[in-house]
A and B are shown apart, each in its own frame.
Chain A
Amino acid sequence: MRKFADLHLCPSIENPSHVEGMVRKAFELGYRMVAIPLSSNITRDKISQLRKTCSDANVNLVTRVDLTPKTSKELLHSLRRFRRRFEIISVVCRSKSVARQAAKDRRVDLLTFPFTGRRTRFFDRAEAELASSALASLEIEMAPLLSLKGFARIRLISSLRREAAIAEKSGVPVVLSSGATETYLMRGPREHAALAGLFDMVAAAALNALSETPLSLVERNREKLSPRYVAPGVRVVKEGDCCPRA
């Protein structure tokens, strides 16, 4: 059976009952893994408290940080600071230089583009080429599709259609996430797949963007963050005196 993940659930961290309500709702809707964006200075205690809330609801928590750098230099600085601390790093690209830098940096997992206006969406063919070689994924949030109305939604669907087509052509993995701040903006995986049909994403690709792509991304990052990881394809299997020396 397919396992689904929502890599962008946005409850109010300061309100434990809100977090619990949204995580329980995620489980009810069929998600077994959720990523909650955390502030960069969050304490370990707070993270373990969140982990407990999620494990009580039978949901696997993924730690995530959203970086919103103004310049590419600021992005590099933030990546050096936070890469080893969070399982998922998402970059909200508000300028073209940041978008290009984020797409070519292997430490970036998700590229997110603000939904306000066509001019702030920099996911074009050049960006996709860089992202595909650096294994970065394009994140598409579904909450704006529900909250926007009229012309704003028409423009958003049009932009998403163009971006999804570019991503598919360039082989950039797409991750669909809810971006929900309230329970009434949360939808099940198959409902998200139906909504993805609005920007011409086929159902099978949409379901992959909600299950296999995010799960493999998290698995890859967890392996990298484990103390046994040495390099891609190399990990410590056994340590101690019993190992023969060369």
Chain B
Amino acid sequence: MLPKGVRRRYLALKITGEQSVSREDLLNTLWDSTIQLFGEYGASQTDLRLTRYDSEGNHAIIRCSHKTLEMTKAAVASITEIDGRPVAIHIQRVSGTLKALLKQRRT
């Protein structure tokens, strides 16, 4: 059970680029982008996690605190390269639960 008041948001991402990206590179880039834009204090509030990653389909699901959703979206949108290769990461859907997000993606 989540403690009362802890609300999360799950974001479905689509990574578009010429080459596939490893899980570690994606996670490092997400953190780098968040720290660049909001600093270490801001990044610490996001509670960012890479929940699922499909490197073949270039899809990922990340989790963040609901209070820092806009910060996370800005950090994701500001990514233009991973490991020196140009990429764009688009946010496809946002949901309050992982179950609902997966259901939305299937439909």
Q: Using a CB–CB distance below 8 Å, which chain A residues touch chain B?
A: 29, 145-147, 149, 182-188, 190-192, 194-195, 197-198, 203
Contacts and interface: CB of A to CB of B under 8 A. Distances in A.
A191 B91 contact: yes
Nearest to B85: A184
Given A191-B76, A192-B77, 5 more contacts: A183-B16, A184-B16, A185-B88, A191-B91, A195-B77
B88 A184 contact: yes
A198 B74 contact: yes
Contacts of B56: none
Interface of B: 16-17, 36-37, 70-71, 73-74, 76-78, 80, 86-88, 90-91
B91 A203 contact: no
A147 B77 CA distance: 12
B16 A190 contact: no
Contacts, number: 45
Contacts of B86: 182, 184
A146 B70 contact: no
B50 to A, nearest CB: 19
A197 B76 CA distance: 13
A-B interface, 9 closest residue pairs, ranked by CB to CB distance from nearest? A194-B73, A191-B77, A184-B88, A194-B74, A184-B86, A197-B70, A146-B80, A187-B77, A195-B74
A198 B87 contact: no
A64 to B, nearest CB: 23
A221 to B, nearest CB: 30
Contacts of A182: 86
Contacts of B71: 197
Nearest to A147: B80
Contacts of A145: 78
B78 A146 contact: yes
25 contacts: A29-B90, A145-B78, A146-B77, A146-B80, A183-B88, A184-B16, A184-B17, A184-B86, A184-B88, A185-B80, A185-B88, A187-B77, A188-B90, A190-B73, A191-B76, A191-B77, A191-B90, A192-B77, A194-B73, A194-B74, A194-B77, A197-B70, A197-B71, A198-B37, A203-B70
